[in-house]
Structure 1
Amino acid sequence: MLRKTKLKTRMILTLGLLGALQTMLIGGFAGYYLSDSLYDEIGQRALMVAKTVAATPAVIDGVRARDVEGLNRLAKRLTDTNEALFIVIGDHNAVRLAHPDPTRIGHSMGDDDGDFGRKALVEGNAYVALARGSLGESMRGKAPITVPETGEIVGIVSVGYSLEQVETTIQRYNFVLYGVVGLMLLVTILSAIVIAGRFKQAIFGLEPEEIARLFREREATLQSVREGIIAVNRDGIITTANRAAYETLDLPTNNPLAGRPILEVLPESSLMSVLESGHPDFDREIWLRGRQMVVNRLPVRQGDEIIGVVASFRLRNELDQVSRQLTRIQQYADTLRSQTHEYSNKLHTIAGLIQIGATEEALNLIGSEVSDHQALIHLLLEAVPDPVIAGCLLGKYNRAREMGLRLDIDPDSQMADLPAALPRDQLVSVLGNLIENALDATRLEAGAGGRVQLSMTDLGQELIFEVQDQGPGIPESERQRIFEKGVSSKEGEARGYGLHLVQQFLVYWGGSVTVDNIPEGGSRFTLYLPKKPKRRFEH
C-alpha cells in the first residue's frame, strides 16, 4: 500500500514518524532524567537540612536535656524555614522528642517506617531514605546528633519532604518539556514537507519507480549504442563507460573504467579542455590509442555550472565503411561508364574505318588500345604487387581517360616493400586524394590532353610518392593553408577535406608532404612515409 503512495507523501510520513519517534524518545529520556534528578535533589536537600539541624547546638543540648517542649518549638521553626514536610528529633534509642503530631512524641520512630535509624545511631552515618509515614510518603534525610567534644551519638534527626511537592514540580517541568517536544514535532513535520518538496523538485518530479525504470533504460541504451561513450565529472573522473567504449579503445573489460581519471586511461584525451572551456566539440577527427576516430564532446551543465563532459566516439574507418562501399560502387560504375563511353567511341571509329576500307588503320587502333592496357596492367603487377593499391591506380587511370586526361605512371616505379602495419585503406585514401586533386587542377588549367604524372619508390627507409600536375600551381602563401580543414580552391560544399585527411594521416604515421611549383607549370606533391612509423601504435 505504501509503495503506491507518492514519494512526497512517503517522505513526509517517514520523516514525520522518524522525527516523532526521536522526539518522543528524547522527551521520555528527558522526563525520566528530570524526575530522577529532582528526586535526587530533594533527597540531598533533606540530607543537608538533617545534617544542619543535627549540628545545631540548641538541638544537641535539648536532646541531652530531653527538653521536649524546646525541641518541638525549634523543630517547628526549622520546618517552616526549610519548607520541609516535617522535622522529627529522637534520642539515642530512636524515641521521638519532637514531632509535628504531639501524640507521636514518646513513641519509637520505627512506628512510622520501620527504620529505627540504625545507620545513623549505630554507625554514625547520614543517609537518605524513601518511606511512607504518618504524614504520607516522603523523601527523608537522617543524620546522627553527635556531641562535638566526645563524639558520642545522643540522638537522631529526620527531615522529610513530601513527594507530592516533587510530583508537582515534575508536572510543572513536564508541561514545559511536553510543549517543547510538541514544538519540535511540528518543526520536524514542517521540515519534512520542505525537504520532500525540494527533493522531489531535484529529481524532476519523478517517482522512485520511474527513476529505476529510467536508469535501466539508460543502461540498456548505453550498452546498445555501437558508439563508445565515456562521461567524466568535474574532476575528470570517469563516471560512465559503455561496452562499446572498451571495444573501440581495445581496453580490458576486467578493469572497470568508472572511478579512474580520464588522463590515466587516455593521456591524449582533450576532455578536460572541453570541461574548462564549456564549448561543445562535434565530429572532431583525432587519433586515440593508435586508431583514427571521430569524436563528439558535449559539456553537461547544471544551471550555469559545468558538472561534467560526455564524449561519444567511433572508429573513423567504421564511419567510412558505408561511404567506402558506396564510393567503390560509384567508382565501379564510373569506370564501367567511362570504359563503355570510350569503347563505344572506339568501336564507332573502328566501324567507320572498316566501312571506308581503312582496314590497316582499324587494326592499328585495336592493337594500340590493347597494348596500352596490357602495358599498364603489366607495370602494376610488376611494380605494385599489393592489389588494393594497384586497383586504386587502375581506377584513377580510367578516371583520367574519362576526363580526357592521361595518368602516366613512371615505368621505373617500385612499391613492393610496404610495411604490414601500414593501413592500406588509409594509404589508398591519401594517394587517391592527391591524384584526384591533380586531375581536377590539370583539367582546369590544361584542358583535354593534360597529363598527370605519378612516380613511386620504396628504396631506402621511406616510401615516396610523387604526383605532378599541369594545374595553375599553388602560391607559396597558400601551401600550408590547403591542409586545413574546409580550405579549398574549389567551389561548393563538402570541400577542403581531402588534403586535411592527408595531413592527419601523415601526422599520425610520422610522414611528411612537400608542395612545389614546377617551372613548366603545375605543382608537385611529394609524400614521404617512413617504413617504421615514428610514433608507437598502442593496442
Structure 2
Amino acid sequence: MRLLQLKLKQRMILILGVMALIQTGFIGLFALHYLERSLDEQIGQRALDVAKTIAAMPQVIESVEQRDSHYLQPLSLALADTTRARFVVIGDSNGIRLAHPKVEKIGHSMADDDGDTGYPALIEGHGYISKAVGSLGWSMRGKAPVISADGSISGLISVGYGLDRVTEIINRYRVTLILVILCSFILSAAIAVWFAYHFKKAIFGLEPEQIAHLFDEQRATLESVREGIIAIDSTGEITTINQTAIETLGLPKNCELIGRRVEEVLPDSSMLEVLQTGEPQFDSEVWRGDHCIIANRLPLKQGEQITGVVSSFRRKDELDMVSQQLTRIQQYADTLRSQAHEYSNKLHTIAGLIQIGATDQALQLIGQESQSHQALIKLLMKAAPDPVLAGCLLGKYNRAREMGLALVIDPESEMTNLPDKLPREQLVSIIGNLIDNALEATLNHQGSDGKVHLSMTDLGNDLIFEIEDQGAGIPPEQQDRIFEKGFSSKNRDGHGYGLHLVKNLLDKLHGTITIESGPSEGSRFTVYIPKNKN
C-alpha cells in the first residue's frame, strides 16, 4: 500500500533498483557456485592424475607389494612436495596406511579420518575423486589403485590438494560481485530517473492512477453517448468500440472485437482509406443492411505520423427525426412570429383609427381582416383538412404577408386523401422549404407585391404539389445542380441546404420533383409523392 503512495519516478527507481539487486545477486551466486565447482573439478582431476602417475611407478608398486613403509614414507613426502600437494598417502590392499605425512597415522586404516575405505579403487580397480575433511583439513582427493604385474590390486594411492586457494579465489570474486551489485543499482536508479522523466513526459505528467481514472471516464463516456464509435490503430486493428456501435452495426454482442482487423468485422469500411491518405471524411452515407448510416472519420496523428483512425456514426433516420423536429419547431416559431408581427401592426392601425375618431374605418378594417382570415381558414379546411399541413400553409401565408408578398392558394386545390403512413413532418418539410425558396426568390426579383402560387391535388396515384414563384428563374445549366448539398445561386453562407433536404426526403418517400420555367418569369416546382410506396 505504501508503494502505491509513492510517485511514479520513486516507484520506478525502487522497482528497477530491487530488480537489479535480485538479478545481479542471483547471477553472482550462480557464478560463484559455478566457479567453485569448476575449481573443485580441476583440482580433483589434478589430484587423480597425480595419484594415477604415482600408482604406475614400478618402485611404488614393488614397495607396496612388500609393504615397505621405510621406503614409501620419505618418497610420499618428496612426491607431495614435488607436486605441491597437501599430502600423498599410500595404503596396502586392506586400506592400511604405509605412508602418511603424520608418522603416527602409519599402520592405521585410511578410513579413520573421513570414513572413506577406498572401495571403488581397492575393489573395482578404478580411480575416483572425492571431497572430504580429514586430519589435514578440507581437501580434494584423487585416489587410484596400485596394480601389480599379475593384475591384482595391491594398494591404494591417495593424493589431496587443500581448498584454501579455492576459498581465496571465491572471496575475491565475492568482493567483486558486491561492487558489481552496487554499480548495477546506481546504474538502474539513473536509468529509472531518465526513463521516468521521458515516460511521464509522454503521458503528459500523469500518474498511473490518474491514467486509470481517465480510462474509466473515457470508457463510461463512450458507453453513454448515443453515437457509435470505433477506433483503429496504425495496423488496422480495432482498439475501441462502444456498445452503441455494436448495436447500430448489428454486430454479435458476445464476440470479442478488440484486436481484430477492421476489414474482418466491417469489410466495406473506409477507415483504412483514411489511415492511408490521412484525409478526414465527413457526413459519409453508408448502407448497413436496410438502414443508412451517417459516418465521420478522422485520422489520429502524433506529430506528422498517422497513428490510427476514429469513426463516429449514427443512423440517418435518427438524424432525420431530429432535423424534422427542429424544422417543425422552426416553422411553428416562424408562424407565431409572423402572426404576432402582423397582428401587432394591425392593432396599432386600429388603435390609431380609434384615437382619431375614425371608428367606421376601424370597424371596416377589422371586418376585412376577419373576412380574409375566415376565407383562408375555410379554404384550408376544405382543401387541406390535415391539421399539420394546414398549419404549415397558414404559417407560410402569414410569413408571405409579413414579407409584403402574397401566397395564393388555388381554390380548386384538394388534398384530402393523405395516406396515414405518410410522415407529416417530412411532407411539411418538403412543402415548407419549397415555399420559403419561392418567397425569397420572388422578393429578391419582384420586390413587394409579388406573388407565389400554390396548387395541390390528390387525384390519381400521386400527391401533386405545384409551387410557382416570380423570381429570376433558374438557368438550365444550374437546374441539374440545384439539389446538390451546399450549392446555391446566392453568394451568402447558410444557403444550399433546403433543396438538398427536399431531394433527400423525396428519395425516401420514392417521390420526384421537376423544375420548369414559368409562363413569363420565375420557376415552377412540381412535386410528385406516390400514395402507396412499393
- TM-score by length of structure 2 reads 0.79
Deviations 1:509-529 (A, max 9, x none): 554433232454332323344
Question: Is residue 2:426 matched to residue 1:435?
Answer: no
Conserved? CA contact 1:268–1:288, under 8 Å: no
Deviations 1:224-267 (A, max 9, x none): 6x5526240225555445677678x4979966896276677777
Shift of 1:59: 2.7
Name the count of aligned residue pairs. Answer: 518
Conserved? CA contact 2:332–2:395, under 8 Å: no
**Aligned-partner Cα distance in 1 for 2:338–2:268:** 41
Residues 335 and 252 of structure 1: is their aligned pair in 2 closer, same or farther, counting only changes over 3 Å? Answer: farther
Shift of 1:65: 4.5
Q: In structure 2, the residue corresponding to 1:454 is in which secondary structure? A: strand
Shift of 1:457: 4.0
Deviations 1:290-323 (A, max 9, x none): 7788766543322322333445566434366456
Question: Is residue 2:420 matched to residue 1:416?
Answer: no
Q: Who is 1:122 aligned against?
A: 123
Conserved? CA contact 2:300–2:310, under 8 Å: yes
Return the letter of the residue paired with 2:456.
S
**Aligned-partner Cα distance in 2 for 1:458–1:271:** 48
**Aligned-partner Cα distance in 1 for 2:215–2:508:** 39
Residues 153 and 272 of structure 1: is their aligned pair in 2 closer, same or farther, counting only changes over 3 Å? Answer: closer
Q: Who is 2:33 aligned against?
A: 32
Return the letter of the residue paired with 1:233.
I
Shift of 1:159: 0.9
Shift of 1:39: 2.8
Shift of 1:410: 7.2
Residues 473 and 181 of structure 1: is their aligned pair in 2 closer, same or farther, counting only changes over 3 Å? Answer: same
Q: Who is 1:233 aligned against?
A: 232
**Aligned-partner Cα distance in 1 for 2:226–2:418:** 35
Q: In structure 2, the residue corresponding to 1:483 is in which secondary structure? A: coil
**Aligned-partner Cα distance in 2 for 1:368–1:176:** 111
Q: Who is 1:91 aligned against?
A: 92
Q: In structure 2, the residue corresponding to 1:306 is in which secondary structure? A: strand
2:337 corresponds, among 329, 333, 337, to 333
**Aligned-partner Cα distance in 2 for 1:107–1:364:** 151
Instruction: After TM superposition, list the pairs within 5 Å mapping 1:347-386 onto structure 2.
Output: 370-371=374-375, 373-381=377-385, 386=386
Deviations 1:37-79 (A, max 9, x none): 4334433432333233323444323323445565456545543
Q: RMSD in angstroms over aligned alpha carbons? A: 4.3
Q: Who is 2:53 aligned against?
A: 52
Structure 2 residues not aligned, in runs of 5+: none
Residues 188 and 28 of structure 1: is their aligned pair in 2 closer, same or farther, counting only changes over 3 Å? Answer: same
Conserved? CA contact 1:129–1:141, under 8 Å: yes
Instruction: After TM superposition, list the pairs within 5 Å mapping 1:204-243 onto structure 2.
Output: 204-219=204-219, 221-222=221-222, 228=227, 230-234=229-233, 235=235, 238-240=238-240
Give the stretch that moved more between structures: 88-97 or 112-121: 112-121
Q: In structure 2, the residue corresponding to 1:204 is in which secondary structure? A: coil
Give the stretch that moved more between structures: 30-39 or 99-108: 99-108
Return the letter of the residue paired with 2:227.
G
Return the letter of the residue paired with 2:494.
A
**Aligned-partner Cα distance in 2 for 1:80–1:145:** 21
Shift of 1:158: 0.6
Conserved? CA contact 1:228–1:243, under 8 Å: no
Residues 504 and 89 of structure 1: is their aligned pair in 2 closer, same or farther, counting only changes over 3 Å? Answer: same
Give the stretch that moved more between structures: 255-264 or 100-109: 255-264
Instruction: After TM superposition, list the pairs within 5 Å mapping 1:427-506 onto structure 2.
Output: 427-446=427-446, 448-457=449-458, 459-460=460-461, 463-490=463-490, 492-506=492-506
Instruction: After TM superposition, list the pairs within 5 Å mapping 1:75-86 onto structure 2.
Output: 75-76=76-77, 78-86=79-87
Q: In structure 2, the residue corresponding to 1:485 is in which secondary structure? A: coil
Conserved? CA contact 2:91–2:110, under 8 Å: yes
Shift of 1:13: 0.8
Conserved? CA contact 2:470–2:523, under 8 Å: yes
Instruction: After TM superposition, list the pairs within 5 Å mapping 1:63-212 onto structure 2.
Output: 63-66=64-67, 68=69, 71-72=72-73, 75-76=76-77, 78-101=79-102, 104-148=105-149, 150-212=150-212
Conserved? CA contact 1:93–1:155, under 8 Å: yes
Q: In structure 2, the residue corresponding to 1:46 is in which secondary structure? A: helix
